Amino acid sequence: MTMTLDPRHSGAGTGQAVRRVGIIGTGIMGADHARLLTGAVSGAAVAGVFDLDAERSAGVAAASGDARVFADPYALITDDGIDAVLVASSDATHEDYVLACLAVGKPVLCEKPLAPTVDGCARILEAEQRHGSRLVTVGFMRRFDPGYTDLRQLLAEGAIGAPLMVHHVHRNPAAVPGLPSSALITNSAVHELDIIRWLLAEEIVEVAVHAPRPSGQAGGTQDPQLLILRTASGVLSDVEIFVNARYGYEVRCELVGETGTVTLDAPPPTLLRRSGVAARDFPGDWRPRFAEAYRRELQDWIDGTGGGATAWDGFAATFVAQACVAALESGERHSVSLPRTPELYS
Ligand code: ISE
C-alpha cells in the first residue's frame, strides 16, 4: 500500500514508501497533526481529511498538499487510497471510528482517550484481539517527550535507586466556563495516569482525589484537584491538576528514589534578565510544550516502530480515570483492580 511520491510530500526524492494518512477531525489537534505529517515527519502524506465543519477540513486539506476532503468519515476509513487513520475528533466518536478501522484492518492512531467509557475501551480491546494483531495506538504523546524519556531511562539505569514517590504538576491557563469537574481528570490528569504506569511499569491500585477550595476563576468547576495514587509496589504519586492557573501552561514532574531524585522542569530555553527580574515565557497551551513529543510520536507511528501506547494502555488509563472520578464524587479512597492484561498486550 504505497503511493507515487509527490514532491510536496515529505519523503519525496528519498525513494521511501509513503504512508497515506486519513485524518478524522481537523480541529486544534487534527490540524496540528496534519501540519506535522506534511512538514516534519518523513514517509507520510495526508491523503484525506474529514471534519463535520467542511470549511475547516477544506483548509487543512489545502495546507496538506491536496488531500481529498471526505464527506463521510466511514468512506475515508474504507477508501483504498488511505493506508492508516488518525482519529482526532470529539472523544465520544473515537470508539466507532477505531472499531471501523479494525473492521478493515487499518492501523489507527487515536487521540486520547481511546474511549470515554471503560465499556467502550473494552469493545475496542475485544475487536483488536479478534483481529489478532495490534493496530491501535493511543495518542499519549508524553511517552515521546525527551524529558519524560530521560526520566524513565535514568530510573531504569538505577540512577536514583528504587522509586518511592512521584510529584506531578499539570496546569493550563484557562478552561471553558462550566467545564465538568470530572474533565480535569478524564481530559488532563489522564496524561499523568498514563505516565505513572509507563514510568514505573506497574499498575495503579488505589486512588483518592482531594478537592481544595475551588478557584474563584473556575466558574463553578472543582478546580484545582489533588490526586493521590498508589501503585502495586507502594509508590505514591501526587498530581496537582489546575486548569485555570492563568499564568500559562506548565507541566512538571519529580521522581524521588532511594538514592536521589530527577526533576523534569522542561523550561523554555531562554531566560530574560531585566529590571531586577529574571523571566521565562510559558506557552499558552500544550502544543508548543510537547511539539517534539508529537513529532516523535507521529514518526514512530508512521515507521511502525510500535513505541506508542497500546489499546490496553488506553483501556487502563480510562479505567483508572473513572476510578478517580468516583473518588472525587465520593470523597473516599477507591481501590482499582484492572483485569488481567490480555496476551496480545503482554
Ligand atoms: C488537553 O486536552 C491535552 O490533551 C493536553 O495534553 C493536556 O495537557 C491538557 O491539560 C488537556 O486539556
Cα–ligand 1 centroid distance for 11 (angstroms): 30
Q: Which has the closest alpha carbon to 94: 65, 68, 123, 71? A: 123
Nearest CA to ligand 1 atom 7: 188
Q: Which has the closest alpha carbon to 266: 279, 256, 276, 280? A: 280
Nearest CA to ligand 1 atom 1: 188
Give yes or no for a contact between 333 and 207, defined as CB atoms under 8 angstroms apart.
yes
172 lines ligand 1 (CB under 6 A): yes
Give yes or no for a contact between 170 and 313, defined as CB atoms under 8 angstroms apart.
no
Q: Please tell me the total number of residues recorded for the chain in this structure.
A: 346
Cα–ligand 1 centroid distance for 286 (angstroms): 6
State the Cα torsion 159-314-112-254 to the nearest 10°. -20
pLDDT digits (tens, 9 = 90+) for 149-200: 999 999 999 999 999 999 999 999 999 999 999 999 999 999 999 999 999 9
Separation of alpha carbons 241 and 210, rounded Å: 11
pLDDT digits (tens, 9 = 90+) for 67-89: 999 999 999 999 999 999 999 99
286 lines ligand 1 (CB under 6 A): yes
pLDDT digits (tens, 9 = 90+) for 234-262: 999 999 999 999 999 999 999 999 999 99
Nearest CA to ligand 1 atom 6: 286
Mutate-to-test residue for ligand 1 from 188, 225, 253, 297, highest number of ligand atoms within 8 A of CB: 188
Cα–ligand 1 centroid distance for 81 (angstroms): 32
171 lines ligand 1 (CB under 6 A): no
pLDDT at 10: 40
Give yes or no for a contact between 268 and 249, defined as CB atoms under 8 angstroms apart.
no
Ligand 1: which atom is nearest the Cα of residue 243?
A: 10
Same fold, 7-138 and 142-289+310-345: no
Q: Is the pLDDT of residue 117 over 60?
A: yes
Cα–ligand 1 centroid distance for 187 (angstroms): 6
Could you say which DSSP state residue 187 is in? I
Give the pLDDT mean for 10-14. Answer: 43
Give the pLDDT mean for 321-332. Answer: 98
Q: Which has the closest alpha carbon to 208: 234, 229, 233, 238? A: 229
Mutate-to-test residue for ligand 1 from 28, 172, 253, 282, highest number of ligand atoms within 8 A of CB: 172
pLDDT digits (tens, 9 = 90+) for 24-66: 999 999 999 999 999 999 999 999 999 999 999 999 999 999 8
Nearest CA to ligand 1 atom 9: 188
Separation of alpha carbons 68 and 263, rounded Å: 45
Separation of alpha carbons 189 and 112, rounded Å: 12
Give yes or no for a contact between 193 and 114, defined as CB atoms under 8 angstroms apart.
no
Give the pLDDT mean for 300-309. Answer: 97
191 lines ligand 1 (CB under 6 A): yes
pLDDT digits (tens, 9 = 90+) for 211-226: 999 999 999 999 999 9
Residue matched to cell numbers 501540519 = 35
Nearest CA to ligand 1 atom 3: 188
Q: State the CATH architecture for 7-138.
A: 3-Layer(aba) Sandwich (3.40)
Q: State the CATH architecture for 142-289+310-345.
A: 2-Layer Sandwich (3.30)
Alpha helices for the chain (secondary structure H) = 28-39, 54-63, 73-78, 94-103, 118-131, 146-156, 183, 190-200, 286-289, 291-303, 311-330
Residue 146 one-letter amino acid: P
Q: Where are the domains of the chain?
A: 7-138, 142-289+310-345
Q: Which residues, at least 6 apart from 107, have a Cβ–Cβ distance to it below 8 Å? A: 83, 84, 85, 101, 135, 136, 137, 301, 304
Could you say which DSSP state residue 172 is in? -
pLDDT band per the 50, 70, 90 thresholds, residue 17:
confident
pLDDT at 242: 98
Give yes or no for a contact between 21 and 84, defined as CB atoms under 8 angstroms apart.
yes
Nearest CA to ligand 1 atom 12: 188
Q: Tell me the average pLDDT of the chain.
A: 94
pLDDT band per the 50, 70, 90 thresholds, residue 15:
low
188 lines ligand 1 (CB under 6 A): yes
